Structure 1
Amino acid sequence: MDRPQIWLDFAPELHLFVSAPRRAGRTSLRTDGTSTLGHVVESLGVPLTEVGTLLVDGQAVPEAHVPADGEHVAVHAVTRPQPSPAPPRFLLDVHLGTLARRLRLLGVDAAYENPDIGDAALAARSAAEQRVLLSRDRGLLRRREIWAGAYVYSHRPAEQLRDVLSRFAPPLVPWSRCTTCNGTLRTVTKTSVREQLRDGTERSYDAFAQCTDCGQAYWRGAHHARLEAIVTEAVRDFGPAAPAASR
């Protein structure tokens, strides 16, 4: 008996993941007659974390649907912003350190693993802490044990940040998190962090914050203008922002 033949049409946003012939429009595929639609889509290179609505002959179906002969399947990308029952918390793999620091700069809860702890441990932490795993590793995002995941489409940190903010719309609270460890910041006196300051810093600055977890001190130093530009652009395009500790 011939295997079922189905017809597939991938949204343009998903063309990155599929072979060139499948980017031109509707194409055919012979299935084994038992695999779910989710498995079929994933076998063609698309992480299910990136798939939104699946339509079969115009009707929405779950990933567990087993396609039958002659069905027309439209594979849509996730909607933006992606619905979330609560403010999202993130977990980033070892290759996304700059993105992690920029998310923390904006007050977004962004855990980061460095050195690399391995795919299994990352997936387990995502599940245990209910964090959205961000990665450019498609294989990692295919692990069934992750709580939720998202592919980071660009290799440029500025574009990565815009990608995550537009997709998940997390609340922005700039200057409220430690960019080193992800802990929360509190306003402190100069005296309380004096041992971390050089003479020039102690003479030139009066407003300080400190991480409640690792103790790192922060102030509006020479690098502040560059960081302020990142914050201003993010708040302008993805705000509003709430007031937070000075830095």
Structure 2
Amino acid sequence: MNGPEIRVEFAPQLHLFVPRARPTGAARTATDGVSTLGHVVESLGVPLTEVGTLLVDGREVPPGHVPTGGESVSVRPVEHPQRVPGAPLRFLLDVHLGTLARRLRLLGVDTAYESTDLGDPALAALSAAEKRVMLSRDRGLLRRRELWAGAYVYSTRPGDQLQEVLDRFRPELRPWTRCTACNGLLQEATKEEVADQLKGGTERSYDVFAQCRACGRAYWKGAHHEQLEAIVEAAVRRGTQGG
């Protein structure tokens, strides 16, 4: 038997999670007098990572509020920029966000990523152990209680994904300081130190190199440097302008 109902209205940014709320953005759902408002919102489809302020009849309440019949709930999105307290801002990306991981590393943002699927429990545990913000398009993963922090990546296009993350979190950018392959820090290197990774044309054409302290990979301003430079300049410019 269904219990008393509450009305839940979602901000436009959250409508994609709640098809049943379209086109008005509102849905009615039963309460049981036990489940928290956070649980109710997630049961309707919205991960709590995407929820900002919760209002009940106009007053702000925590996710632990237990709703009662007749209440009117407003679910607002996370404010930008989002502050993540308690640790340096670091990210963990799931297996489907490899291009985004490389671009964040290009910008010098501490970004953990594994090319193999570790599974949701392991990713959530890693997020908690290393205090990293989990970035994913997997709503189930973002609903795991073990997560230290998380965020849904709305776009499927790497360029737009990067803009999303930069606008939402405003991480400090230190371009050209991290290895795009392993996330290690780069240091200056001589041609002799990286000679074993250079082909004849590269060795003749370039004199400035960097090398990853962790995996040893060599870097230089090769054929794709202009494309990478454009990504970096756009990100830095966007950060300077505040999104």
Same fold per superposition (TM over 0.5): yes
Deviation of 1:23 (Å): 4.1
Superimposed CA distance per residue, residues 33-91 of structure 1 (whole angstroms, 9 cap, x where no aligned partner): 21100000000000000000001111111100001121110000000110123541000
Q: Which residue of 1 aligns with 2:106?
A: 105
Q: Which residue of 1 aligns with 2:89?
A: 88
Q: Which residue of 2 aligns with 1:161?
A: 162
* Contact 2:15-2:25 within 8 A present in 1 as well: no
Counterpart of 2:172 in structure 1: which amino acid? P
Q: Distance in 1 between matches of 2:10 and 2:138?
A: 20
Q: Distance in 2 between matches of 1:214 and 1:220?
A: 19
Change (3 A) 1:51 1:114: same
In the alignment, is residue 56 of structure 1 matched against residue 43 of structure 2? no
* Contact 1:10-1:22 within 8 A present in 2 as well: no
* Contact 1:132-1:148 within 8 A present in 2 as well: yes
* Contact 2:12-2:25 within 8 A present in 1 as well: no
In the alignment, is residue 5 of structure 1 matched against residue 5 of structure 2? yes
* Contact 2:20-2:27 within 8 A present in 1 as well: no
Change (3 A) 1:20 1:235: same
* Contact 1:178-1:184 within 8 A present in 2 as well: yes
Q: Secondary structure at the match of 1:192?
A: coil
Q: Distance in 2 between matches of 1:198 and 1:21?
A: 58
Q: Which residue of 2 aligns with 1:243?
A: none
Change (3 A) 1:2 1:155: closer
Q: Distance in 1 between matches of 2:141 and 2:152?
A: 10
In the alignment, is residue 29 of structure 1 matched against residue 29 of structure 2? yes
Q: Distance in 2 between matches of 1:16 and 1:206?
A: 50
* Contact 1:36-1:64 within 8 A present in 2 as well: yes
- Higher deviation after alignment, 19-28 or 46-55: 19-28
Q: Distance in 2 between matches of 1:227 and 1:2?
A: 56
Q: Which residue of 2 aligns with 1:66?
A: 66
Deviation of 1:2 (Å): 6.9
Deviation of 1:28 (Å): 2.3
Q: Secondary structure at the match of 1:234?
A: helix
Q: Distance in 2 between matches of 1:72 and 1:154?
A: 31
Q: Distance in 2 between matches of 1:221 and 1:98?
A: 19
Q: Secondary structure at the match of 1:103?
A: helix
Counterpart of 1:39 in structure 2: which amino acid? H
Q: Secondary structure at the match of 2:193?
A: helix
Q: Which residue of 2 aligns with 1:176?
A: 177
Number of residue pairs aligned between Structure 1 and Structure 2: 240
Measured on the aligned residues, the alpha-carbon RMSD in Å equals 1.4
Q: Distance in 1 between matches of 2:70 and 2:165?
A: 37
Q: Which residue of 1 aligns with 2:239?
A: 238
Q: Distance in 1 between matches of 2:80 and 2:115?
A: 29
* Contact 1:87-1:171 within 8 A present in 2 as well: no
Change (3 A) 1:70 1:204: same
In the alignment, is residue 122 of structure 1 matched against residue 118 of structure 2? no
TM norm structure 2: 0.95
Q: Which residue of 1 aligns with 2:136?
A: 135
Q: Distance in 2 between matches of 1:96 and 1:238?
A: 22
Counterpart of 1:101 in structure 2: which amino acid? R
Deviation of 1:27 (Å): 3.4
* Contact 1:10-1:23 within 8 A present in 2 as well: no
Q: Secondary structure at the match of 1:116?
A: coil
* Contact 1:87-1:170 within 8 A present in 2 as well: no
